């Protein structure tokens, strides 16, 4: 597999295999980069690899200090090459994935979220952050919003072909709708010529015909979080975590939250029960229950009138 700007026949076959299976653009780029790294380790084409080289490459990744997540991502791309493009199932069987540590999502408190939104530098920043928290949208979903996705009559936002190539609807709150209308009057229109109104990006980027990038959105978030004095190592995705956790703490059915987030499995949504601090702190400890009968007895004795 060529590691320079040229495209080798093997790389071209892999690109065609990924396109035939409708892998996303980011997945294709990740798989190609992974196989380039494998080829650099081999110092020759991957189609000459042996089981020992596959095992050695996996050991090399761990010794190089890569995180388990990145190591697994690289081996997913290599396994695709071996199993699909090369049809070397004996080599693909040598690939194994390590169990990733399960970490709790980092969630902001309602007060921190309020401070964050209050410190937005302009209406554009306020709107994009409000969509992340108020609707539970991912960064990529926020930047790809178009006018046609906003249904004010039904009070919903339609998210098209999100993660996993799935559509879903999320609620359009009156607060978010008011912010969107305010932003629409201030939104730059220099790139809208010739574009139908319903097809226009809500948040146009610097390049004509392209929306705001997720990198630009992340930068706006971190600038605002710093201005708000939030010391936690929060990310833009923390707004989505906070959306789910705060809904759960207010008693929203977990299956409704699952639908709003677009999770295929309930287990992915259930993890927010581990960070819903309001629910956790409200649980009565069994230690308190041990002394409860004694407390009730003392209270009853105090309430009884003294004997005549």
Tens-binned pLDDT, residue by residue, of the chain (308 aa): 654 456 789 999 999 999 999 998 889 999 999 999 999 999 999 999 999 999 999 999 999 999 999 999 999 999 999 999 999 999 999 999 999 888 888 899 999 999 999 999 999 999 999 999 999 999 999 999 999 999 999 999 999 988 888 899 999 999 999 999 999 999 988 888 888 889 999 999 888 889 999 999 999 999 999 999 999 999 999 999 999 999 999 989 999 999 999 998 998 888 888 878 777 777 788 877 787 666 555 555 566 666 55
End of a domain among 92, 123, 151? Answer: 92
Same domain for 57 and 205, yes or no, is: no
Same domain for 69 and 148, yes or no, is: no
4 inside domain? no
pLDDT computed for residue 218 by the predictor: 96
Same domain for 87 and 115, yes or no, is: no
Same domain for 164 and 273, yes or no, is: yes
Same domain for 73 and 176, yes or no, is: no
Same domain for 268 and 122, yes or no, is: yes
CA 305, 307, 308 angle in degrees (round to 5)? 115
288 inside domain? no
Show the domain range for 131. 110-279
284 inside domain? no
Whole-number Å distance between alpha carbons of 143 and 140: 5
The catalytically annotated residue of 37, 55, 200, 237 is 237
2 inside domain? no
31 inside domain? yes
296 inside domain? no
pLDDT computed for residue 300 by the predictor: 58
Known catalytic residue at 240: yes
Sign of the dihedral defined by the CA atoms of residues 227, 229, 230, 232, in that order: positive
Same domain for 122 and 253, yes or no, is: yes
Same domain for 169 and 214, yes or no, is: yes
CA 1, 44, 28 angle in degrees (round to 5)? 25
Q: How many domains does the chain have?
A: 2
The catalytically annotated residue of 31, 240, 241, 246 is 240
273 inside domain? yes
Same domain for 199 and 115, yes or no, is: yes
Q: Which residues pair with 211 in a beta bridge?
A: 204
Same domain for 128 and 274, yes or no, is: yes
The catalytically annotated residue of 138, 144, 241, 246 is 138
Burial class (CB in 10 A: 0-12, 13-18, 19+), 236: buried
Same domain for 44 and 15, yes or no, is: yes
The catalytically annotated residue of 83, 149, 163, 200 is 163
Known catalytic residue at 181: no
287 inside domain? no
Whole-number Å distance between alpha carbons of 76 and 27: 10
27: domain CATH number is 1.10.150.130
Known catalytic residue at 222: no
Same domain for 240 and 158, yes or no, is: yes
Q: Which whole-number Å values give the CA distances from 10 to 42, 86, 225, in the listed order?
A: 15, 9, 46
Token code pair at residue 261 = 């987030």
Token code pair at residue 25 = 């653009």
Known catalytic residue at 138: yes
191: domain CATH number is 1.10.443.10
Known catalytic residue at 272: yes
Known catalytic residue at 149: no
């Amino acid at each position: 597999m060529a590691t320079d700007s040229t495209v080798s026949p093997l790389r071209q076959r892999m690109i065609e295999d990924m396109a035939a299976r409708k892998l996303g653009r980011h997945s294709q780029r990740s798989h190609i980069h992974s196989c380039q790294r494998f080829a650099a380790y081999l110092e020759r084409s991957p189609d000459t690899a042996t089981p020992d080289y596959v095992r050695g490459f996996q050991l090399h990744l761990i010794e190089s200090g890569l995180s388990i997540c990145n190591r697994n991502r690289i081996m997913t791309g290599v396994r695709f090459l071996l199993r699909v493009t090369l049809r070397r199932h004996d080599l693909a069987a040598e690939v194994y994935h390590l169990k990733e540590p399960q970490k709790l999502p980092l969630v902001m408190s309602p007060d921190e979220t309020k401070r964050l939104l209050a410190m937005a530098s302009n209406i554009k920043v306020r709107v994009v952050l409000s969509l992340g928290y108020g609707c539970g949208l991912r960064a990529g979903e926020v930047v790809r919003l178009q006018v046609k996705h906003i249904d004010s009559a039904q009070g919903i936002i339609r998210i098209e072909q999100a993660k996993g190539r799935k559509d879903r609807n999320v609620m359009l709150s009156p607060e978010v709708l008011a912010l969107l209308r305010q932003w629409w009057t201030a939104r730059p229109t220099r790139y809208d010529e010739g574009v139908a109104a319903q097809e226009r990006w809500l948040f146009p980027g610097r390049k004509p015909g392209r929306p705001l990038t997720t990198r630009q959105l992340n930068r706006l978030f971190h600038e605002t979080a710093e201005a708000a004095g939030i010391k936690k190592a929060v990310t833009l995705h923390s707004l989505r975590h906070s959306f789910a956790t705060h809904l759960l703490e207010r008693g929203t059915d977990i299956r409704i939250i699952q639908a709003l987030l677009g999770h295929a499995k309930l287990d992915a949504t259930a993890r927010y029960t581990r960070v819903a601090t309001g629910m956790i702190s409200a649980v009565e400890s069994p230690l308190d229950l041990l002394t409860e009968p004694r407390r009730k007895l003392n209270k009853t004795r105090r309430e009884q009138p003294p004997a005549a």
